[in-house]
Amino acid sequence: MKFICEMVILSLSVIIIQPSIIFSRELGSPNHIKTATFYTKKFVLEPGKITRKNFFDVKFPRGHIGIKNLRAELVDEHGNSIPLYEAYLHHYFIFRYFENITMSQYANKSQPAYGKYFRRNDGVCQGYVNSISWGLGGDARKTSVELPDPFRVEVGTHPENVPKEYDEEKWFINILAIDTRGTEDKKGCSQCRCDLYNVKSKDLENTTSVDGKSLFSSDYKGGIFCCEKKSQCKLQKGYKKEQKRNVTLKYTISWVEWDQHQVPLKFYILDVTDQVTYNGSKPIHNCAVEYSITPKKTNEEQYYIKKTNVPMEKGGNVIYTTAHIHSGIVNATLYGEDGRILCEIKAISGTGKEAGNEEGYAVGASGCYPKPGSMKIKDGEILTIEFVHENKYTTGLMGHFYVYLAEELLKSF
Ligand SMILES: *[C@@H]1O[C@H](CO)[C@@H](O)[C@H](O)[C@H]1NC(C)=O
Ligand SMILES: *[C@@H]1O[C@H](CO)[C@@H](O)[C@H](O)[C@H]1NC(C)=O
Ligand SMILES: *[C@@H]1O[C@H](CO)[C@@H](O)[C@H](O)[C@H]1NC(C)=O
Ligand SMILES: *[C@@H]1O[C@H](CO)[C@@H](O)[C@H](O)[C@H]1NC(C)=O
Ligand SMILES: *[C@@H]1O[C@H](CO)[C@@H](O)[C@H](O)[C@H]1NC(C)=O
Ligand SMILES: *[C@@H]1O[C@H](CO)[C@@H](O)[C@H](O)[C@H]1NC(C)=O
């Protein structure tokens, strides 16, 4: 369970180890790309409350396949998209794991990961930090992770670095959703502001950030740890609690059967909080996952810039790049070591009321599709990540570049 402790995302009391499907649908298409929509088991939201869910062994396409696209969102019981100002989907994380059934039948509530081996993505953060295979948040309905043909994420095989006795591939989904109906400060609740959740600095005295710093001494004002400690965000005075609401995570996957025409991709998450140190030539990553902006009164700059350098042990051809951003981020740039621009991302802001276009929220990020073979990252190259933000008080920000690399291209390119 160490990976989850490090990411501080699991609340052990809510583990459900049942497959969780309401409905699924499969469509064949002429070019053999299949698409199916799945739903997790229903769960309940309540005004001002945080809901965390963990679903082991969720429905997922099986066999040796290549995933082309995966998108997910929160929907109500009728399948309607829920807008961010009603329920803020802080994140959904999809993890790939391998299970030894003989062992895992002895798993119990306190150790649900017993007998399961989590396979992280290709890098680059320490341990199991940012180890998801897919995942974004509600403010990313317009962010695409669709991969161009014939590039895929290959699954349904047994990776060499997974011990043989863990033989069954399965999928795990972790969700954190915040119901902001009736709250005094919807944005503050979405950003997990400690004061709105009535978390005092004393409550954090034994808590350390993902990169191991004491939150007590760092004057932590908001972020995932305050959403972890308590579960009720401040409601408006006199607000009469509306009904609870059943919701589910709807996720749609496109894939192909694997064959010699498919080209496998590596998936890297580069985190703008990563403070890399070195042991000899070996990089040691220190990703904190989240960060906050507290502008000084004397600082009237319009923008706040956060930047870091991250070495890539293994390079490759850049096939697709996008970013996980939050409201408050204006744009983000990924640079090569020589200063060349590998990708520029722009935040997409909502302009209306409907889900996916909520005014006042970021609703997605753009992406970059360079011509395959035209843009390469060298082995050992040090990349620079830069995120530009509005210079205003914001907590629980995430600035993560999602980079898909092909180590080999097909001859035809
Ligand atoms: C089940 O829980 C108990 C107590 O919480 C623990 O000691 C034990 O190791 C657990 N069993 C497994 C297989 O993890
Ligand atoms: C599962 O683990 C048990 C105990 O370590 C081992 O005996 C068994 O061979 C494993 N199962 C498989 C399929 O490797
Ligand atoms: C922190 O740890 C100490 C020592 O174990 C304990 O007495 C204290 O109650 C803990 N504080 C919190 C807020 O959990
Ligand atoms: C949620 O679903 C449960 C079980 O299907 C049902 O009993 C309950 O009435 C529903 N709650 C709401 C608020 O719709
Ligand atoms: C640095 O690397 C060496 C050789 O791999 C290892 O023995 C040592 O423990 C490492 N030091 C740290 C601080 O990680
Ligand atoms: C990001 O936004 C800032 C402020 O508007 C602007 O100066 C900069 O050129 C933008 N960068 C990119 C890559 O769009």
- Tell me the torsion sign for CA atoms 279, 285, 288, 290: positive
Q: And the tokens for 263?
A: 């080209």
Judge contact between 141 and 101, C-beta under 8 A: no
Determine contact, residues 383/296, Cβ cutoff 8 Å.
Answer: no
Nearest to 402 by CA among 290, 332, 322, 326: 322
Task: Name the phi and psi angles at 188, rounded to 5.
Answer: -60, -40
Residues written for the chain: 413
- Going by their DSSP bridges, the two strands 151-155 and 376-377 should be labelled as unpaired
Residue to mutate, 77, 246, 247, ligand 4, most ligand atoms under 8 Å from C-beta? 246
| Distance between CA atoms of residues 114 and 122, nearest Å | 23
Predicted local distance difference test score (pLDDT) of residue 105: 94
Average pLDDT, 10 consecutive residues per value, the chain (413 residues): 37 32 37 92 96 97 97 96 96 97 93 95 96 94 96 96 96 97 96 96 92 88 92 91 90 96 97 97 96 85 95 97 94 98 97 96 96 97 97 95 94 46
Q: Whose CA is nearest to atom 1 of ligand 4?
A: 246
Computed over its alpha carbons, how large is the radius of gyration of the chain? 21
Residue type, 266: K
Ligand 2 atom index nearest CA of 164: 14
- Which residue CA neighbors atom 11 of ligand 6 most closely? 331
Backbone angles phi, psi at 66, to 5 degrees: -120, 125
Residue 147 structure tokens:
């991969």
Distance CA 179, CA 84 (A): 9
Instruction: Please choose, from the candidates 194, 178, 191, the residue with its C-alpha nearest in 3D space to the C-alpha of residue 88.
Output: 178
Our mutation pick for probing the ligand 6 site, out of 331, 333, 385, counting the most ligand atoms within 8 A of Cβ, is 331
pLDDT in tens, 250-307: 999 999 999 999 999 999 999 999 999 999 999 999 999 999 999 887 777 899 999 9
277's enclosing H/E stretch is strand 277-279
Atom of ligand 3 minimally distant from the CA of 203:
13
Q: How many CB atoms lie within 10 A of CB 83?
A: 20
pTM of the model: 0.91
Give the tokens for residue 13: 């009391």
Instruction: Specify the residue with its C-alpha closest to ligand 3, atom 13.
Output: 203
CA of 246 to the centre of ligand 4 (A): 6
Of 149, 140, 169, nearest to 251 by C-alpha is 140
Q: Take residue 368 and report the two structure tokens written for it.
A: 């970059």
Its CATH class, for the domain covering 272-406, is mainly beta
Task: Answer yes or no: is the C-beta of 244 below 6 A from any ligand 4 atom.
Answer: yes
Listed in sequence order, the residues at least 6 apart from 92 whose beta carbon sits closer than 8 Å to its beta carbon are: 72, 135, 136, 137, 173, 174, 175, 249, 251
Look up residue 289 and give its DSSP letter: S
Provide the CA 317 distance to its chain's centre, in angstroms.
23
328-384 per-position pLDDT tens digit: 999 999 999 999 999 999 999 999 999 999 999 999 999 999 999 999 999 999 999
How many angstroms does the Cα of residue 112 sit away from the middle of ligand 1?
9
| Cα–Cα dist 19/168, whole Å | 15
| pLDDT at res. 229 | 83
State how far the Cα of 131 lies from the Cα of 113, in Å rounded to an integer: 15
Residue 31: per-residue pLDDT: 52
Query: In terms of Cα–Cα distance, which of 314, 311, 316 is closest to 284?
Result: 311
Residue 244 alpha carbon, nearest atom of ligand 4: 13
Are 37 and 225 in contact by the 8 Å Cβ rule? The answer is no
Is the peptide bond preceding residue 150 cis, with omega within 30 degrees of 0? yes
Nearest Cα residue to 249 out of 117, 396, 13, 51 = 51
Enumerate the domain spans of the chain.
2-181+242-257, 272-406
**Tokens 């503050």 found at:** 188
**Ligand 6 centroid from CA 397, angstroms:** 18
| Ligand 4 site, residue 246, Cβ cutoff 6 A | yes
Q: How far apart are CA 268 and CA 287, in angstroms?
A: 13
H/E element holding 174? strand 168-179
Provide the token pair at 338: 């020589």
- Residue located nearest, by CA, to atom 5 of ligand 1: 110
